C-alpha cells in the first residue's frame, strides 16, 4: 500500500491547486476556501495514520475515505465518508495525535485546511462553523447509538487486556502508567468507549487514581474481571 505524507512529514497525495482567493473545487461542497491545497489520493493511499501528529483537516470533494482503528484482532472500520464530509478535525481542534487511519477507498480529491484557515473561515462565514457543529453532533449521536448496542463486557475485554499488560509493581499496589488516549489507541476503542469501560472499573474498585496514575489494588481481581468478560 502506498503511503502519503501528511502533517507527520509524509507528502499527502498530489497537490493540484492552491489559491489566496478561492480554491477551484470548493463549490463541490458549498464551502468557499480562501487558502487551501487540493490533494488527490489514489485508491489505497493513506492520508494519515493513527498516532500521527495532526495539523490539518480535510474536506472531501470527491471519492470516499475509510477510517480505521487498530484493534486486538486487526484494523477495525469506524467510518466511511463521502463528498461534503470532513475528517481530521479533532486533532486540529484539540491538538492531539490522529486517533484513526484515513485511507482512500477509491480515488479521492480532498481540500486540506490548517487551523488558521479553519478559524478564519468560521469567523467570516459562521454558517460553516454551524455546519461543522451539526456534523460533530451527528457523529456523537451515532457513537452513543453504537455504545448502547454494545454490552459493557465488549468494552471491558480490550481495556482490561491493555491494563494488565501495562501493569507495573509498586509499593502502593500495581501502577498502570497510561493516558486515556493511549489506552483507547491500544485497546482499539474510541475515547468515549474507553472512558465508559474505565468508569466501570473505577466503580467496581478494580482500579483507582493515585497522583493521576491508575493503580490496581489487586491485579488478580482485575484479571478475574477479564475472565468473567470472556
Question: Is 15 or 60 the better-scoring residue by pLDDT?
Answer: 60
Q: Choose the final residue of a domain: 108, 126, 150.
A: 150
pLDDT at 196 (0 to 100): 83
pLDDT at 17 (0 to 100): 45
* Residue 126 within any structural domain of the chain: yes
Q: pLDDT-based confidence at 96, cuts 50/70/90?
A: confident
pLDDT at 108 (0 to 100): 96
Q: pLDDT-based confidence at 7, cuts 50/70/90?
A: very low
Q: Please count the structural domains in the chain.
A: 2
108-161 pLDDT, tens digit each: 999 888 888 777 777 887 887 787 777 777 766 666 655 554 455 667 778 888
- Whole-number CA gyration radius for the chain: 20
* Residue 192 within any structural domain of the chain: yes
Question: Is 132 or 3 the better-scoring residue by pLDDT?
Answer: 132
pLDDT at 206 (0 to 100): 83
pLDDT at 189 (0 to 100): 79
Grid cell of 206 as nine digits: 478494580
Q: pLDDT-based confidence at 37, cuts 50/70/90?
A: confident
Crossing angle, helix 180-187 and helix 152-166, to 10 degrees?
Answer: 110
Q: Choose the final residue of a domain: 103, 124, 150.
A: 150
Rounded Cα–Cα distance for residues 13 and 141 (Å): 32
* Residue 205 within any structural domain of the chain: yes
Average pLDDT, the chain: 75
Same domain, 141 and 198: no
pLDDT at 26 (0 to 100): 42
Same domain, 142 and 166: no
Q: Is 78 helix (H, G, I), strand (E, B) or coil?
A: strand
Q: Choose the final residue of a domain: 110, 125, 150.
A: 150
Check: CB of residue 113 under 8 Å from CB of residue 57. yes
CATH number for position 210: 1.10.10.10
Check: CB of residue 157 under 8 Å from CB of residue 223. no
- Host domain of residue 74: 37-150
Check: CB of residue 121 under 8 Å from CB of residue 186. no
**H helix count then E strand count, the chain:** 7, 13
Amino acid at each position: 500500500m502506498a503511503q502519503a505524507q501528511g502533517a507527520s512529514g509524509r507528502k499527502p497525495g498530489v497537490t493540484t491547486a492552491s489559491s489566496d482567493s478561492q480554491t477551484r473545487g470548493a463549490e463541490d461542497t458549498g464551502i468557499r476556501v480562501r487558502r487551501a491545497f487540493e490533494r488527490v489520493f489514489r485508491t489505497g493511499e493513506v492520508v494519515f495514520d493513527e498516532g500521527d501528529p495532526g495539523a490539518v483537516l480535510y474536506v472531501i470533494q470527491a471519492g470516499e475515505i475509510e477510517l480505521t482503528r487498530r484493534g486486538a484482532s486487526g484494523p477495525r472500520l469506524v467510518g466511511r465518508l463521502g463528498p461534503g464530509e470532513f475528517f481530521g478535525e479533532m486533532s486540529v481542534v484539540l491538538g492531539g495525535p490522529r486517533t484513526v487511519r484515513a485511507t482512500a477507498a477509491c480515488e479521492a480529491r480532498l481540500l486540506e485546511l490548517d487551523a488558521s484557515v479553519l478559524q478564519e473561515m468560521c469567523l467570516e462565514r459562521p454558517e460553516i462553523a454551524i455546519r461543522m457543529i451539526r456534523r460533530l453532533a451527528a457523529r456523537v449521536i451515532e457513537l452513543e447509538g453504537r455504545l448502547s448496542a454494545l454490552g459493557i463486557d465488549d468494552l471491558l475485554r480490550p481495556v482490561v487486556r491493555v491494563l494488565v499488560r501495562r501493569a507495573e509493581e509498586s509499593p502502593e499496589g500495581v501502577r498502570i502508567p497510561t493516558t486515556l488516549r493511549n489506552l483507547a489507541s491500544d485497546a482499539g476503542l474510541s475515547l468515549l468507549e474507553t472512558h465508559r469501560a474505565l468508569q466501570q472499573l473505577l466503580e467496581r474498585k478494580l482500579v483507582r487514581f493515585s497522583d493521576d496514575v491508575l493503580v490496581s489494588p489487586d491485579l488478580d481481581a482485575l484479571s478475574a474481571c477479564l475472565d468473567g468478560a470472556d
